[in-house]
Amino acid sequence: MEFYNQLLENNKEWVSSSLKEDPEFFSRLSKGQQPPLLWIGCADSRVPANEIIGAPPGEVFVHRNIANMVIHTDMSMLSVLDYAVNVLNVKHIIVCGHYGCGGVKAAMSNAHIGLIDNWIRHIKDVYRFNHEELDAIEDETVRFDRFVELNVREQVMDLGKTSIVQNAWKNKQKLHIHGWVYGINDGLIKDLNISLQDNQELDAVYQLDI
Ligand code: CO
């Protein structure tokens, strides 16, 4: 119980130190939220969204799953996306992957883990789309790192393909989608310099006539 009880103690300390710094901290947050950013990241415990970008409560709307995937039949992801874009009017969506991602690593192998195999299949699809580039990389770590980056790029494009994002662009809503990769080793974020802001960069078959 020690670890568990410590969490509740930590919470009390956090409340008092937050109030010491800013007596209005909680009363202000209780009035509502207007975060400018939706974060889609990995569930990995080493990649806490707010902490690594120094964002206080109220600034980031967060969705996390294994390997920061954008699966367009995932009702949870779609609901987060719809609320972020159409109610909160976020200006940016960041897909943040990370080097050393266990989900991506599993997708490169033939490991059978359990139910999660079915989730990881979506990542295997990304390998298949990029197999020529990836198979040509001999060093396994380099190939793994590149796969992490290509997976992020694919998820950025998959966000752009959603009806939610294409509708927002059609309505002239400013909405930029970015792809980042976080380094577990050094804490630094690499910007993949993908800034999707209209549907023209999507393959023609995905461009919806809205
Ligand atoms: Co991960």
- Domain range list for the chain: 1-32, 33-206
Q: What percent of the chain has pLDDT over 90?
A: 99
The mean pLDDT of 15-25, rounded to a whole number, is: 97
Answer yes or no: is pLDDT of 97 > 90: yes
Q: Which pLDDT tens digit goes with each residue over 32-46?
A: 999 999 999 999 999
The Å distance, Cα 66 to ligand 1 centre, comes to 6
Residues 6 or more apart in contact with residue 203 via CB below 8 angstroms: none
The Å distance, Cα 210 to ligand 1 centre, comes to 35
Distance of CA 28 to the CA centre of its chain: 27
The Å distance, Cα 181 to ligand 1 centre, comes to 10
Q: Which pLDDT tens digit goes with each residue over 149-206?
A: 999 999 999 999 999 999 999 999 999 999 999 999 999 999 999 989 999 999 999 9
Rounded Cα gap, residues 179 and 143, in angstroms: 18
Answer yes or no: is pLDDT of 148 > 90: yes
The Å distance, Cα 208 to ligand 1 centre, comes to 31
Which amino acid type is present at position 79? S
Q: What is the 3-state secondary structure (H, E, C) of 124-164?
A: HHHHHHCHHHHHCCCCHHHHHHHHHHHHHHHHHHHHHHCHH
Rounded Cα gap, residues 101 and 69, in angstroms: 12
43-62 in b/e burial notation, b at 16+ Cβ within 10 A? ebeebebeebbebeeebbbb
Does the pTM surpass 0.85? The reply is: yes
Position 25 scores a pLDDT of 97
Return the active site residues.
Answer: 42, 44, 46, 98, 101
Q: How is domain 33-206 classified at the CATH fold level?
A: Beta-carbonic Anhydrase; Chain A (3.40.1050)
Sorting pLDDT into bands at 50, 70 and 90, what band is 85?
A: very high
Position 1 scores a pLDDT of 76
